[in-house]
Amino acid sequence: MNQIVLICFYFGKLPNYFQLWLDSAAKNPWIDFYFYTDNTEEYRYPSNVIKKSVSYEKMKKRIQDCFDFEVVIDRPYKMCDYRPAFGYILQEDIVQYPYWGTCDIDVILGNVSHFLNMEMICRYDKVLTLDHFVIYRNTPQVNKRFMDTLDNRADHYKEVFTDSRVHSFGERAPGGIYHIYKEHGWPMLDQEICADISYRWKHFVLGSDHEDHKHRPQVFVWDKDDGSLYRYAVLKGKVVCEEFMYMHLQKRKMDVSARLLQQSQSLLIVPNKILSLKEKRERIGKRMIIKYGHRRLIYGARIKMLWKKYVGK
**Residue pLDDT, tens place only, 171-186:** 999 999 999 999 999 9
Helix, strand, coil share of the chain (percent; to 5): 30, 25, 45
- pTM, full prediction: 0.91
Cα 256 to Cα 268: distance, rounded to the nearest angstrom: 11
pLDDT at 310: 43
Adjacent-strand bridge partners of 239: 234
- pLDDT of 91 > 50? The answer is yes
Q: pLDDT class for 18, splitting at 50, 70, 90?
A: very high
Question: pLDDT tens-digit profile of 121-143?
Answer: 999 999 999 999 999 999 999 99
- Average pLDDT score over residue span 23-49: 97
Question: pLDDT tens-digit profile of 180-225?
Answer: 999 999 999 999 899 999 888 888 998 767 566 667 889 999 999 9
